[in-house]
Structure 1
């Protein structure tokens, strides 16, 4: 029995040795195959350069911070805090002042028409005359051209090229409005009644003539407005107020007219008794 056990142990040891040799042979074969593939790949492609990443040195910083902490001894009482004073005022600074004309145009509710342009022209006229003597003549021509464009509609109706009569007054009114006039000088609120009636009659005559000529020529005009002499003014009633009558002292008062409007006016009976003679039932007495 002892000899049999010894043989079994030897066989087991030999089997283990053979298995180890087989494993080593398989590993060498795998390594040789990988080596062949690596050489083939390197022959086809060049090897890439290896990038070395910088290693962050954190230990030195930690050591430096610890040394700084060890050197800090706290807040010293000997040092005095200095208060820093900052002055925002400057004596040389000056605010841009506005002229009276600019202040008036700024405070007014109307939009400025030509005030700013006139002010700028007045301020820069001296400098421009020094620079170029022909600039003043050009400015005068520009002003004349602007007036001509603004007053061109007045010259169309006039046979004379120069303004005269009513056209001259209208041109003066346009120039005053361009300079900032509040109202037109041609607008007359208070005038004699005879003049007012004459103006209204002349206006109605021109309107009738225009409509008559349009009707003869077959031109269709707008519908004429009917002007009533005494327009019916409706009484303004408050919210929640009654539409009929009048409230005074928490009582509603109705007039006869209001009652007739509500109930309707009574019709006169056709069979009225009596005639001219009187209120009697019969006729004349014999």
Structure 2
């Protein structure tokens, strides 16, 4: 687009037909200053095209305004607004995991417990495997101990013997291991001669079994010796005397009680 010759402007409407040079220079300096400040703080922007209004020189009034002029082209700015085009590459959208998105959108407060890392998961898994192996080994040890203790029950097994008898004996042994005070086969009331005979017979069988096992190289369980029952402390009523026996409204003291009360006698040597 080309225009004809420039016409004389009305001097009444405009006092100065051209823009003020000092104002344009100040605007350009300010723009350059802001641009340097921005580039110093941030990275310079790529692909920025600026269209700055050209600076017009001051023409004296003596110059003929009707001089030949070819006019304006489409590329020149006709005093319009300053346009700045910013061409920025679109940032790639990062995908947020569904777990974090649900935690962000939920109304519950976030937990202070840190998330388990693969390293801690591996450690916990190894600990669980060790506990499982320890439990399996303990179970096998218990089964082996029971086999050693109950192996003698299978030696006297015959076709005519009752299968439940050995099972009852095995249950009795397991109860004694767990802390049972008496055996299922213990008979509290019987003649003393019978009791002594039963104890002697069982002791003889146990000694023979251990002797044969030692000769054949068989490992048996450790022999547990019967503990002698300590003398039970006599139970006394509330308010009863702690020394002697109260019988028939009378306190009876034995010689031992009197000796305990008096204490050891001290021998005094007389000087001659």
Q: Which has the higher contact order (CA 8 A, sep 6+)?
A: 2
When normalised by structure 1's length, the TM-score is: 0.26
Question: What TM-score, normalized to structure 2?
Answer: 0.27
**Structure with the larger helix share:** 1
